[in-house]
Structures are given as C-alpha cells and as structure tokens.
Amino acid sequence: MMLRHLGHDEIATELEEAFTAVLERGEVTPDLGGSLSTVEVGAAVIAELRHRRS
C-alpha cells in the first residue's frame, strides 16, 4: 500500500482493517457478488473508519 511505502504505517493499517471489515460484511461491488457501486463501497469504508475512531 502506498501509505505504508510513504511511512504512514498506522494509517495504512487502519484503512486495511476498515476495508476488510466492509468486505467481510458483504458490502461489495457486483464484480465481487454484491450490488453496491464503488461510491457506496467507498462511503462504507469511510463510515467504518469514522466508527473505529469514535
């Protein structure tokens, strides 16, 4: 991940974990068997990040 390459290990880990949580809930695009748009998946990842930081 580019963030890790640039020395932002903690943020990279947070993003990876949030993305994994969204995937595990099945919030994915049609190519992965879901029905969400890429914008909706992105919003789900952002919501997960916010939830984890609150």
Sequence-distant (6+) residues with CB within 8 A of 37 are 29
pLDDT by residue, tens only, the chain of 54 residues: 899 999 999 999 999 999 999 999 999 999 999 999 999 999 999 999 999 999
Give the pLDDT confidence score for residue 1 in this predicted structure: 82
Give the pLDDT confidence score for residue 27 in this predicted structure: 98
- Count how many domains the chain has: 1
Give the pLDDT confidence score for residue 21 in this predicted structure: 98
Give the pLDDT confidence score for residue 4 in this predicted structure: 96
Helices 38-53 & 9-24 angle (0-180, nearest 10): 120
Domain that holds residue 34: 2-53
